[in-house]
Amino acid sequence: MKGTFSRLAPDYAEDDPCASRRYAETVTLSERPVRIDAPGAVGSVAPRLAGPGEPMRAAGGSGGLGPGVYGVGAFPLERRTEMKPKPLILTAVMLGLGGLFAGSSVLAQAKPEDTELWKPTPAVVTPGREAGGAPSDAIVLFDGADLKEWVATQDKSPAGWAVADGVLTVDKTRGNIETRRSFRDYQLHLEWRIPADITGSGQARGNSGVFLASTGPGDRGYELQVLDPYQNPTYVNGQAASLYKQHPPLVNAGRKPGEWQVYDVVWRAPVFGPDGALVSPATATVLHNGVLVQDNAAFAGETVYIGKPPSRPFTSAPIKLQAHGDPSAPISFRNIWVRELPPRP
């Protein structure tokens, strides 16, 4: 007698005419009961022969064969019915394959050129010949020769600080000086030095400042602090490289007195609306001796010694150097240049 020897699919349901099975193997069987020991079977069972049209059942069982069970059926081979996959499953499979092929088609059509930009071409800027040197598009504010780019803050008369041996030294009796020109957004390079024989402590030790925007006479504006940074304890939002009374530096990257220090600054001026209201604050990114000490830090307003910083509307402003009134020896500057930057988009 011929029949089927089948391993049913795990999701086989004997009462579901649309159920699917994964595979079926056909062999020639005798009419004698055959003991089946199959890996993955639910135990080793001795099935009986099933009659034509009768569901295959394990010996002693009350239902159809469970998942993973081998069984014997006595119906003729030609009466075996192959179960078809459910239409829903077939549709899902075809949709998934369609999406895969569509994605592959898009990738096949993409080219490296699709993400290449050729215009506008960046302007060519020739770097300085030495480290810290002014690039070709910079405005040189002090090159060691004279103070033609500077005026007195108080009355806009010619700046009266001393220039000797390529170095500009503060004259505390003459007051602050500032640039003749006004700037909005820019990159600034400036070098400064605390005297080797400096005396005093805290804020009375080599005090000065770079006002990134001078918004009026005296010390009005947005100040980046200059002070002896070497073993000179003071309040941290007033030490060298602080945005005075607002942001301490991220680290103290200062050198000893007598050694030249370097500030590289990216300044973004505040933006005000037509009604004078602040739209976006001023920001400064500062490197002190090549080390990041202010990372796009936002000013709360202008620098003040006491109280809340005000925000007075302006469009552009000079850069100011401070002649502080502390009793210590005056500090010096050299190699000052600025690159104007376009506004942020």
User: What CATH number did the domain enclosing 235 receive?
Assistant: 2.60.120.560
The tally of CA atoms less than 13 A away on the side-chain side of residue 60 is 4
- Alpha-helix runs per DSSP H in 79-140: 87-109
Residue 78, number of CB atoms within 10 A of its CB: 6
Please indicate, yes or no, whether residues 318 and 185 belong to a single structural domain of this protein. yes
Please indicate, yes or no, whether residues 220 and 274 belong to a single structural domain of this protein. yes
Give the per-residue pLDDT at 36: 43
Q: What is the pLDDT of residues 138-160, one digit of tens each?
A: 999 999 999 999 999 999 999 99
**What is the tally of structural domains in the chain?**
2
Calpha distance 134→264 (Å, rounded): 12
Strand 260-268, strand 221-226: pairing: unpaired
What is the domain extent for residue 35?
Answer: 1-102
Q: Is 51 part of any domain?
A: yes
Q: Examine the fold and report which residue of 102, 130, 149 is the final residue of a domain before the chain moves on.
A: 102
Please indicate, yes or no, whether residues 231 and 84 belong to a single structural domain of this protein. no
Q: Examine the fold and report which residue of 75, 102, 129 is the final residue of a domain before the chain moves on.
A: 102
Please indicate, yes or no, whether residues 183 and 257 belong to a single structural domain of this protein. yes
Give the per-residue pLDDT at 238: 98
Residue 106 has pLDDT above 80, yes or no: no
Q: Identify which of 341, 285, 343, 345 has the alpha carbon closest to the alpha carbon of residue 137.
A: 341
Strand 167-169, strand 278-280: pairing: unpaired
Q: Examine the fold and report which residue of 80, 102, 124 is the final residue of a domain before the chain moves on.
A: 102
Q: Pick the range with the lowest mean pLDDT from 87-91, 142-146, 293-297, 338-342.
A: 87-91
Mean pLDDT estimate for the chain: 82
Q: Which residues contact 268 (CB under 8 A, 6 or more apart)?
A: 185, 282, 283, 284, 344
Please indicate, yes or no, whether residues 237 and 314 belong to a single structural domain of this protein. yes
Calpha distance 33→46 (Å, rounded): 7
Q: Is 262 part of any domain?
A: yes
Radius of gyration of the chain (CA): 42
Please indicate, yes or no, whether residues 175 and 66 belong to a single structural domain of this protein. no
Residue 270 has pLDDT above 70, yes or no: yes
Please indicate, yes or no, whether residues 68 and 146 belong to a single structural domain of this protein. no
Q: Is 124 part of any domain?
A: no
- Please answer whether residues 84 and 70 qualify as being in contact, where contact means their C-beta atoms are separated by less than 8 angstroms: no
State whether residue 210 is helix, strand or coil. Answer: strand
- Please answer whether residues 319 and 211 qualify as being in contact, where contact means their C-beta atoms are separated by less than 8 angstroms: yes
Q: Is 256 part of any domain?
A: yes
- Please answer whether residues 21 and 8 qualify as being in contact, where contact means their C-beta atoms are separated by less than 8 angstroms: yes
Q: Is 132 part of any domain?
A: no
Residue 250 has pLDDT above 60, yes or no: yes
Please indicate, yes or no, whether residues 159 and 82 belong to a single structural domain of this protein. no
Please indicate, yes or no, whether residues 212 and 266 belong to a single structural domain of this protein. yes
Q: Is 159 part of any domain?
A: yes
Please indicate, yes or no, whether residues 59 and 160 belong to a single structural domain of this protein. no
Q: Where are the beta strands (DSSP E) in the chain?
A: 5-7, 70-72, 139-142, 150-152, 162-164, 167-169, 177-179, 186-193, 208-214, 221-226, 260-268, 271-272, 278-280, 283-288, 291-298, 320-321, 332-340
Please indicate, yes or no, whether residues 91 and 159 belong to a single structural domain of this protein. no
Q: Is 115 part of any domain?
A: no
Kindly state the average pLDDT of the residues 1-27.
Answer: 45
Give the per-residue pLDDT at 173: 96
Calpha distance 51→36 (Å, rounded): 19
Please indicate, yes or no, whether residues 220 and 86 belong to a single structural domain of this protein. no
- What's this model's pTM, rounded to 2 decimal places? 0.70
Give the sign of the dihedral formed by CA 38, CA 42, CA 46, CA 52: negative
Q: Is 86 part of any domain?
A: yes
Q: What is the pLDDT of residues 52-65, one digit of tens each?
A: 454 444 444 444 44
